[in-house]
Chain A
Amino acid sequence: MATARIFVTLKKGILDPQGKAVEHALQGLGIDAVKGVRVGKLISLTFEDVSETEARRLSDEACEKLLANPVIEDYEVELLQAVE
């Protein structure tokens, strides 16, 4: 069994108003060393009976077809191998 953790974020350069709002809130809390916040999504996919290579390939396919919108979003796939 393998789990793919998929991070979807707005592309660099695209205004992220949620990130801005959180950044202002953090500054209000005194955590003002933070310079820049981006808010994104974490999507977790669980695979059974597929190789790591196949899980990665399917994750990429899922991102390109559905999970991310390439016009505005980037994605990263992180593959975790479950302990048997």
Chain B
Amino acid sequence: MKFGVVVFPGSNCDHDCFYALKTACHQDVRFIWHKDHNLGDVDAVILPGGFSYGDYLRTGAVARFSPVMDAVVDFANHGGIVVGICNGFQILCETGLLPGALMRNKDLRFVCKFCHLRVENFDTVFSNQCLQGKVLNIPVAHAEGLYYATDDVLAELNKQNGVLFRYCDKDGTLSDDSNPNGSLQNIAGIMNREGNVMGMMPHPDRCFEKLLTSSDGVSIFNSMVQNGGIN
């Protein structure tokens, strides 16, 4: 499968994504510069974490107007697989490819730690290789990760099983203590109605080998690969 990792000015997890896909998942990966107007021959696009455009104005607000984003929107609208991790998730919400918004963490602090995640839907392009009943251990690192959406949007997301990951304790129980940023309904990651665009605040690109404490991120990348193999 061919992955493209978009590089914005201020991206700082672009190489993490590249390395994870290359070494842990053995896939073809290339970087896509934010000024490019087309994505080239790729099957999936990753918007990596970081501080695109210095997070000026709002996180992701300026990046959404990068030249490459027209191509990303077009790719997504034609069924292409698009993943936003952390800052990438913020960009996807600003772009409107995903509903809702990421706001300042409830306690106003930058949070950087491992979090437990409960997988809410296993039948997706992004989670089909996650094991039923296994709680994932994946780190977060952000100051603006509080997922917010109106009650109507949340109801719609839940109805279509669009919430993929929720923050939980190590046993998989949802609680306020396990919610690192005050996200509504402990939401850590969502996908669109069509099931081809996904955003998550935790970083699977920071836990793909034992040396990094956890290798749970691999199951998310491998889900896409598995899906690509089927198609």
Contact = CB atoms under 8 A, between A and B. Distances in A.
Interface of A: 14-15, 17-18, 21, 66-67, 69, 71-72
Given A66-B57, A66-B65, A72 B104 contact: no
Given A21-B108, A71-B149, 13 more contacts: A14-B103, A15-B106, A17-B107, A18-B108, A66-B57, A66-B62, A67-B57, A69-B58, A69-B101, A71-B93, A71-B100, A72-B103, A72-B148
A17 B108 contact: yes
Contacts of B220: none
Contacts of A14: 103, 148
The 3 tightest CB contacts between A and B, nearest first, are: A71-B101, A72-B101, A17-B108
Interface residues of B, number: 19
Interface in B152-194: 182
Contacts of A67: 57
Interface in B97-111: 100-101, 103-108
Interface in B50-85: 57-58, 61-62, 65
Nearest to B65: A66
B61 A69 contact: yes
A48 B191 CA distance: 44
